[in-house]
Amino acid sequence: MKVFSNSPTIKRAFAALLLGSLLSVQLFAQAVAPATAPAASPLLAVEKELADKITVQNIKDVTTALSADDMEGRGTAQPGGDKAANWIAERFKSLGLKPLGDKGNYLQKIEFKETVATPETSFKVGDQSLDYGSDFAFVPQNNGNKEASGDLVFVSYGIQAKQANIDMLAGANLMGKVVIITQGPPPGFPEKDWEKQKASTMIRRNIISQGAAALIFIGNGTGEHTPEEAINYLSRRQISLPGEEGYPPQVPPFVYLSTKGAEKVFASTGMSLKDALAQGNTREFKAISLKQKAKLVAKYKVTKGTSNNVVGYLEGSDPKLKEEAVLFSAHYDAYGSENGKIYHGAADNALGTAEMLAVAEGFSKLTQKPKRSLIFLSVTGEEYGLYGSKHWAKNPTWDIKKVAADLNLDGIGSEVYGPVKTMVGYGAEHSSLGSMLEGLAKTMDISVIPDPMPDEKVFYRSDHYSFVERGVPSLMLLGAPAGDKEVWMKRIKDWEKTDYHQPGDVIQPNWAWDGAETVADVMGVLGWRISETEAMPTWLPTGRFGKLERGNTKDLPPEP
Ligand SMILES: [Zn+2]
């Protein structure tokens, strides 16, 4: 799943950045069964044959190859990404898929811009220099180079609530100051209310409007999300589109300080971080001038690069329906390699790619050909903002009005925790694909549950959403084991803390590969059923996308 929201506001960017670890287990208390449960729909002989031809060995081989060191983490606009794209294209060719990229090719090229911090990037407090990437990192959306200096002011949470008699900015002149802000909410303030009130955005806006030279964010040591996590992402190379705008030039630099970095900064002012946070947690707190200067330099090297989607198709057998296609998608990119580290992306998303390729292989060996055509799309640039899928959706190599549905896979590896007995269909509640999934799952003894982590807005954060925007009913499948959901949710949560989007996302010896095959079986059989059904899937008329038509180019209403 992608990390950054495409929204220009830092609040959203940061929220999305950390969404990956927001799982909240109690949400499973929600009702599971839909109002009208569709009946089980037994597998036809051809569907059984398809499932038989989707094999564990194939999934294992492809995951192993794509997550190996020599694929260098399949980085967007890096040689490893190109190597992976060519490898997948070769696979498509060997399976007999026809090319559906640029000019008779399997590859669809996309131009990118890479932004990397240079060694000139610095944060000095007094005469002490902080370490980039461990003490601090800039938010790079300022589109490169920025300098700022000024006296340090600590405003704690920066809350101004006159009725509650709280004014943390009282008496402070922030003009030209380097302002240190504690990330809210304060302890005891419900996170949901803080979000609902858009408190962070309001506070930042207020401080910027008072002329701050730079905004420095520190953690309060209690939140689930740490500035260290932000720094980890923000100090990596960034990928965006060549013409993509960052923040307007008048927005001052935003910087995150780790606990270590914040301790250094406060120590240089004669006040400890601990004392500052303690004072800042009182209602009576007023801004403190720290009698110390800070100087910040953000300097980036911006280079152009390219990366490729890989697209192939199997032609349908029905003279009329073959004009229409079922789209299968999975992103192959991971975070590439940087500073000697390889981000292998085994669960996210070599595994999903392998499952999709296993589906392609199953169909290619099937004795009976499906009526509609089948497109297999392996996209790049997902981690940085769904770039590859958005590119294809905007420049489709198949008439988008004739794309029946998209089935997407983007993994966190929960399908290899054991035999898959639980499934989430992200987007199931919006279209007729939901009841198709229910019917099939029942046959396979799998229970379909609603999104177990609605706060994370996963539905908006992977490639299927690029097709939703263009009016194509879409579903992302997530598999999980049987048993107490809290057990596997905890395992996801623990894994996200240590390995998600980190070099540690590698194949684990305890993976139960059968679960991955089950997910591929569901994807394949569902694809078969979409292919054979006379009418294309439809949006549920009463739902959020009820009025959407295939080929839509209008912006969708903002996420709820
Ligand atoms: Zn992913």
- Give residues with Cβ within 8 angstroms of 200, minimum separation 6: 11, 14, 183, 184, 194
User: 464: CA distance to ligand 1 center in Å?
Assistant: 12
Task: State in Å: Cα 412 to ligand 1 middle.
Answer: 7
Ligand 1 midpoint to CA 322 (Å): 30
Report how far ligand 1's centroid is from the alpha carbon of 67 (Å). Answer: 13
Give distance in angstroms: CA of 460 to centre of ligand 1: 12
Ordered DSSP codes for 437-490 = HHHHHHHTT-EEE--S-GGG-GGGSSTHHHHHTTT--EEEEEEEESS-HHHHHH
Residue 385 CA to ligand 1 center (angstroms) comes to 11
- Cα(347) to ligand 1 centroid in Å equals 8
Q: What is the pLDDT of residues 288-327, one digit of tens each?
A: 999 999 999 999 999 999 999 999 999 999 999 999 999 9
Length of the chain, in residues:
560
**Predicted pLDDT at 557:** 81
Q: Report, as an integer, the average pLDDT of 130-154.
A: 88
Share of the chain above pLDDT 70, in %: 92
Angle in degrees, 0-180, between the axes of helices 259-267 and 227-234, rounded to the nearest 10 = 100
154-182 residue pLDDT tens: 999 999 988 889 999 998 999 999 999 99
As given in the structure block, the two tokens for residue 53 are 């031809």
125 CA → ligand 1 middle, Å = 38
CA distance 545 to 559: 12
Tell me phi and psi for residue 231, to 5 degrees: -65, -40
pLDDT band at 141 (very low <50, low <70, confident <90, very high): low
CA–centroid distance, residue 174 to ligand 1 (Å): 41
Distance from the CA of 279 to the center of ligand 1, in angstroms? 41
Whole-number Å distance between alpha carbons of 517 and 502 = 25
Cα of 352 vs centre of ligand 1, distance in Å, is 8
Q: How far is ligand 1, taken at its centre, from the CA of residue 57, in Å?
A: 22
Distance (angstroms) between ligand 1 centre and the Cα of 350 equals: 9
Cα(267) to ligand 1 centroid in Å equals 40
pLDDT beyond 50 at 21: no
Q: pLDDT-derived band of residue 357, with 50, 70 and 90 as boundaries?
A: very high
State pLDDT tens for residues 504-533.
Answer: 999 999 999 999 999 999 999 999 999 999
Q: DSSP secondary structure string, 382-421?
A: -TTTSHHHHHHHHS-SS-GGGEEEEEEE---SGGGSSSEE
CA of 373 to the centre of ligand 1 (A): 26
Cα(520) to ligand 1 centroid in Å equals 16
If you ran DSSP here, which 8-state letter would residue 429 be given? G
Span 367-379, average pLDDT: 98
Taking CA atoms, 416 is separated from 65, 197, 411, 430, in Å, by 17, 39, 10, 27
User: What pLDDT sits at residue 4?
Assistant: 39
Between CA 461 and CA 520 the distance in angstroms is 21
The answer, yes or no, to whether residue 103 has pLDDT greater than 60, is yes
Quote the ligand 1 centre to 15 CA distance (angstroms). Answer: 17
CA–centroid distance, residue 345 to ligand 1 (Å): 8
Cβ atoms of 333 and 81 within 8 Å: the answer is yes
